[in-house]
């Protein structure tokens, strides 16, 4: 799997590097460190070449630590809006997954990494793993210190997007247990729901995956997903940023944002449909 680690070079954003280093170097055939210099936001002065040189120097130091651990690393510091730079580099480097922190230079105020994670995840073109981070004794680190793909909880509606979610989850390096969770209301036909979920999981089972299935009764998908993740000991929650039913249009500002801001484990946003 080829992965981008997107960073604004803040301590909060660099904590996402640990999400990759927790895995084995053989899990990732290539790691690309990406930093975008957005001239519309840049106010610190200095020339563009100087800013790029400084960014490349900082990325180079991070790259050396990754290489020392056995990873193959490329550094890309480029001018442009972060979302556009990441998507362009992803296309050029044939990237399978984007990894970034939920916090960046505005970490103290709690904002997302320049809304970049939000924009990429909702665009439906690239899978995005958003690493949850916290500050501890003046240093930023991942909230969850374990392997991110050990126990994956897949938030599922009853649409075809579940097939795409499981297809990507099945390619995650070092994948352990998988549980599929559907949130429904008390009046729903649970037997029919389980039959539908099993139908959607057929491809995954044929590929050798053995996901468990769980139902929770509730009206707040984010709360139920977080509760299930805590009870089951999930190391990652995977959802599609455009779904239906009780996970209706789980775009930023609702379920997806809640998961990225309130959870204790990383969140993986899977593009729906043919865009995967």
Tens of pLDDT, residues 161-177:
899 899 999 999 889 99
Phi, psi dihedral angles at 76 (to 5 degrees): -135, 110
pLDDT at 250: 42
Q: Which of 105, 119, 87 is nearest to 260 (CA)?
A: 119
Residue 109, classified by CB atoms within 10 Å of its CB into exposed (0-12), middle (13-18) or buried (19+), is: exposed
pLDDT at 242: 59
When pLDDT is cut at 50, 70 and 90, the band that residue 202 belongs to is very high
Residues contacting 67, CB < 8 A, separation 6+: 73
pLDDT at 159: 86
What's the average model confidence in pLDDT over 117-131? 76
81 or 98: which leads in pLDDT: 98
Which tokens in the block code for residue 130?
A: 């958003």
Structural domains of the chain sorted by starting position, each given as residue range(s) with its CATH number in brackets = 2-142 (3.40.50.620), 151-275 (3.40.50.620)
What's the average model confidence in pLDDT over 107-116? 47
Q: Which of 117, 122, 121 is nearest to 132 (CA)?
A: 117
250 or 204: which leads in pLDDT: 204
Using an 8 Å Cβ cutoff, are 1 and 28 in contact?
Answer: yes
Which stretch of 19-33, 100-114, 227-241 has the lowest confidence by average pLDDT?
A: 100-114
pLDDT at 246: 41
CA distance 37 to 39: 6
Whether residue 26 is predicted with pLDDT greater than 70 in this model: the reply is yes
Torsion of CA 212, 218, 221, 226, to 10 degrees: -70
The whole model's pTM is what? 0.86
Torsion of CA 121, 251, 228, 245, to 10 degrees: -130
Highest mean pLDDT among 41-50, 118-127, 228-237: 228-237
What's the average model confidence in pLDDT over 11-39? 88
CA distance 16 to 39: 24
Please tell me whether residue 37 adopts helix, strand or coil conformation. Answer: strand
What's the average model confidence in pLDDT over 190-194? 95
Whether residue 112 is predicted with pLDDT greater than 80 in this model: the reply is no
Whether residue 154 is predicted with pLDDT greater than 80 in this model: the reply is yes
pLDDT at 275: 42
Count Cβ atoms below 10 Å from residue 57 Cβ, excluding itself: 11
Return mean pLDDT, the chain. Answer: 83
CA distance 95 to 199: 30
% the chain with pLDDT above 90: 47
Whether residue 194 is predicted with pLDDT greater than 90 in this model: the reply is yes
What's the average model confidence in pLDDT over 134-143? 78
What's the average model confidence in pLDDT over 20-34? 90
When pLDDT is cut at 50, 70 and 90, the band that residue 30 belongs to is very high
When pLDDT is cut at 50, 70 and 90, the band that residue 107 belongs to is very low
Using an 8 Å Cβ cutoff, are 247 and 155 in contact?
Answer: yes
CB burial string 196-205: b at 16+ within 10 A, e below: bbeebbeebe
The residues that bridge with 237 in the sheet, in sequence order, are 153, 267
């Amino acid at each position: 799997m080829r992965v981008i680690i997107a960073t604004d070079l803040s301590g909060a954003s660099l904590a996402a590097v640990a999400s990759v280093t927790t895995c084995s170097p053989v899990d990732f055939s290539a790691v690309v460190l990406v930093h975008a210099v957005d001239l519309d936001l840049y106010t610190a002065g200095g020339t563009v070449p100087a800013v790029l040189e400084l960014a490349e120097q900082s990325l180079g130091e991070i790259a050396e630590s990754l290489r020392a651990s056995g990873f193959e690393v490329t550094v890309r510091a480029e001018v442009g809006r972060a979302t556009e730079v990441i998507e362009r580099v992803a296309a050029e480097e044939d990237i399978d997954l984007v990894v970034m922190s939920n916090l960046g230079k505005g970490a103290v105020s709690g904002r997302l990494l320049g809304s970049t994670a939000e924009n990429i995840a909702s665009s439906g073109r690239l899978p995005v793993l958003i690493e949850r981070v916290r500050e501890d004794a003046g240093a930023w680190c991942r909230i969850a210190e374990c392997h991110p793909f050990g126990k994956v909880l897949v938030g599922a509606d009853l649409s075809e997007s579940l097939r795409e979610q499981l297809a990507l989850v099945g390619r995650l390096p070092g994948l352990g247990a998988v549980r599929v969770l559907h949130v429904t209301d008390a009046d729903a036909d649970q037997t029919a729901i389980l039959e539908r979920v099993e139908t959607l999981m057929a491809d995954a089972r044929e590929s050798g995956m053995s996901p468990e299935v769980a139902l929770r009764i509730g009206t707040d998908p984010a709360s139920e997903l977080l509760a299930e993740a805590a009870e089951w000991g999930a190391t990652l929650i995977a959802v599609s940023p455009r779904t239906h039913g009780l996970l209706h249009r789980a775009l930023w500002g609702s379920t997806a944002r809640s998961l990225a801001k309130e959870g204790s484990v990383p969140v993986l946003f899977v593009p729906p449909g043919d865009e995967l």
